[in-house]
Copies of this chain bind each other. A is one copy, B any other.
Amino acid sequence: MKKDKVMDLFVGYLREKVLQITKQREEIFRCFLSTDTHLSVEELYSLVRKKDPKVGQTTVFRTLKLLCEADIAKEVDFGGRVKRYEVKYGHKHHDHLVCTKCGEFIEAVDERIEELQDKLCKKFGFIPF
């Protein structure tokens, strides 16, 4: 199953950075991967709390940061003030269409757009993210 691979990636990252694999980090990792929505810290915190009410919001915040560094999560910025995070590992790069009124959004993968975006980035010395 794919989840194990991602877990390996996370474990690998932690080892590389000489960080510990704690039960909090594991739980947060699991909760995060178990959804396919674009969670805010608060929302993920709520999820995690259902599994283990003792975990603090700060730890969720920090773990999410680690997950981003490990390329497992990706920060996505819809118009609002809250940051959201999506699973990056195993997901193609894609765009989001976000309603400026209600925040509703959809994910869209368009090969031709991707290709042009890549070219555009290359042209200006950027790396697509």
Contacts and interface: CB of A to CB of B under 8 A. Distances in A.
A41 to B, nearest CB: 14
Nearest to A129: B100
- Complex copy number for this chain: 2
A38 to B, nearest CB: 15
A117 interface: yes
A102 to B, nearest CB: 12
B121 A97 contact: yes
Contacts of A43: none
Interface in A93-129: 95, 97, 99-100, 106, 108, 110, 112-113, 116-117, 120-121, 124, 126, 129
B129 A106 contact: no
Given A77-B77, A77-B79, A79-B77, A99 B126 contact: yes
Interface of A: 75, 77, 79, 95, 97, 99-100, 106, 108, 110, 112-113, 116-117, 120-121, 124, 126, 129
B100 A124 contact: no
A103 to B, nearest CB: 13
B97 A126 contact: yes
Given A77-B77, A77-B79, A79-B77, A124 B97 contact: yes
A106 B112 CA distance: 21
